[in-house]
């Protein structure tokens, strides 16, 4: 009798755990993509810094 409610609670906890795990996986996947984008942008920024000195030199 007591095992039935525990099993139901365990199922609800597992369902909630799976949902939170899916959210965490999505967040983890988003984080790598975001962290990969900034380095790419930084590379573009460093490339933009090279022409920037040339512009003041021309001025």
Give per-residue pLDDT as tens, 13-59. Answer: 555 555 554 555 555 555 555 555 555 555 555 555 555 666 666 55
Can you give the pLDDT at residue 29?
A: 52
Please state, in angstroms and rounded to a whole number, the distance separating the CA atoms of residues 40 and 28.
19
Buried b (16+ CB within 10 A) or exposed e, 13-43: eeeeeeeeeeeeeeeeeeeeeeeeeeeeeee
Give the SS3 label for residue 1.
coil
Please state, in angstroms and rounded to a whole number, the distance separating the CA atoms of residues 1 and 17.
25
Can you give the pLDDT at residue 28?
A: 54
């Amino acid at each position: 009798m007591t095992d039935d409610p525990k099993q139901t609670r365990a199922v609800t906890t597992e369902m909630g755990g799976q949902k939170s795990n899916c959210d965490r996986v999505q967040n983890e996947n988003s984080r790598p993509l975001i962290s990969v984008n900034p380095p790419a942008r930084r590379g573009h920024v460093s490339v933009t810094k090279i022409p920037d000195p040339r512009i003041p030199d021309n001025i």
